[in-house]
Amino acid sequence: MNLKVRLSLMNFLELAVWGAYLTSMGRYLSNIGMSTEIGYFYSLQGVVSIFMPAIIGIIADRWIQAQKLLGFCHLLAGLFMLLLAWYGYKEGQNASFSTTFIIYGLSVAFYMPTLSLSNSVAYNGLALAGLDIVKDFPPIRVFGTVGFICTMWFVDIFDYQANQMQFVVSGILGFVLFLYSFTLPACHTAPKGETKSLSDAFGLKAFSLFKQKRMAIFFVFSMLLGVSLQITNSFANPYISSFGSMTEYANTFGVQHANILISLSQISETFCILLIPFFMKRYGIKNVMLIAMFAWVLRFGLFGTGNPGYGVWMLALSMIVYGVAFDFFNISGSMFVEQNTTHDIRSSAQGVFFLMTNGIGATFGTIAAQNIINHFTQGKIIDGQFYTVGNWQACWFIFAGYALVVALLFAIMFRTKKKE
């Protein structure tokens, strides 16, 4: 099978696993009485990203081939995801927060490192084949987004958004990727017997990048922008579904099929990813990241002004803008790290980038967002259905204001080399 096809299938499965529950889990948690704790579940992804990707990256650099480690991580993540589904089915509305939280945490602890691991596997395969990463990786990454969209639609169409079956879908796909990972191109580890310092053995050399002012500023702003990454994934579905409490919106397409409406974000991604090589070479990393930052301002602002009725076009436009906001930042940033680090610390450096964005940044972002939402909204049961209602608009405008401040500071402080 052609290398690009093999790597494309890997990316398809990688993000299909995540797409099964990422945008709909908040709806499920609301239905079992945990609406005020949604942010804590999503922040778990950030917490484990603080240490797990770096640890797994070090193991991949030093001891276990990355493609095999990718498979074992998916096996464990899938097992815990199926356990979570079984527990949710068994307990229903009586599910304990602590038990649900722990099982979910164990699953994402092994899943989150695979996002950077799969990048390393793809980069390695392309490099061994003599292909251009900047040119050839984005089309491969597109298939990851396609996989994410497919499972979002699957969960929506089969009415799994509000129940534990979304976790079953994720777990099964994780097992498939576990098996498939052993067919991927081998990633070499360091030669046996090679003398390493303690710093090298634990991958700490990657943190020396903070000694470079430009890289330090890049990582700090990666963290600040990372605050925004999981907010809409956490709360978009409960927000759009909350319009079901209003008679004029209850039967609109957006309320009935929130996941499909949200999937416009991922459809936008498939096109935006393909634009990245052009924008990176034409405008450079700083301008590409600035575009992403201002796109986050629009993303949140349009959420605050839209609705599933006459204002559905604003929600749709917000979804379209997401492709620019997420991918121009996440993928371009990953490429920037790849091009500005030496081969011996690249997996670890990707782990550091992931730590700053999906780790520290996303953790603080989702917890802060949950507190803001808890302040402006409250849960209510209307006609037998649970809704989170209140001043959602204030929440989205606060998030938009934060993104605007970060964008302006980045424009002032970050400097790049002329060729970038």
What pLDDT, in 10s, does the model give residues 28-48?
999 898 999 999 999 998 888
State which CATH number among 3.40.50.2020, 1.20.1250.20, 1.10.3720.10, 3.40.50.720 fits the domain covering 3-184+207-413. 1.20.1250.20
**DSSP state for residue 76 in the 8-state scheme:** H
Average pLDDT of the chain is: 88
* pLDDT at residue 203, rounded to an integer: 56
| Signed CA dihedral, 337, 366, 101, 150: sign only | negative
Percent of the chain with pLDDT over 70: 94
**Hey, what are 370's tokens?**
């949950």
pLDDT exceeds cutoff 50 at 124: yes
pLDDT above 50 for 188:
yes
pLDDT of residue 240: 95
Report for 7-11, 42-46, 59-63, 329-333: range of highest mean pLDDT:
7-11
Q: Say what the pLDDT of residue 8 is.
A: 95
The mean pLDDT of 175-184, rounded to a whole number, is 94
Note the pLDDT of residue 51. 77
Specify the range with the lowest mean pLDDT, choosing from 8-22, 194-208, 260-274, 288-302. 194-208
pLDDT, position 201: 47
Closest Cα partner for 173 from 379, 414, 11? 11
| Contact criterion met (CB below 8 Å) for 113 and 56 | yes
Closest CA to 65 of 107, 15, 116, 117: 117
Helix (H) or strand (E) holding 386: strand 385-390
pLDDT digits (tens, 9 = 90+) for 162-173: 999 999 999 999
DSSP-derived 3-state class of residue 212: coil
Per-domain boundaries in the chain: 3-184+207-413
Reported as a single tens digit per residue, the pLDDT across 216-246 is: 888 999 999 999 988 998 999 999 999 999 9
Other CB atoms within a 10 A radius of the CB of residue 150 amount to 18
* The dihedral sign for the CA sequence 96, 395, 166, 173: negative
Q: Are 341 and 213 in contact (CB under 8 A)?
A: no
Kindly report the pTM of this predicted structure. 0.85
pLDDT at 390: 94
Contact criterion met (CB below 8 Å) for 219 and 352: yes
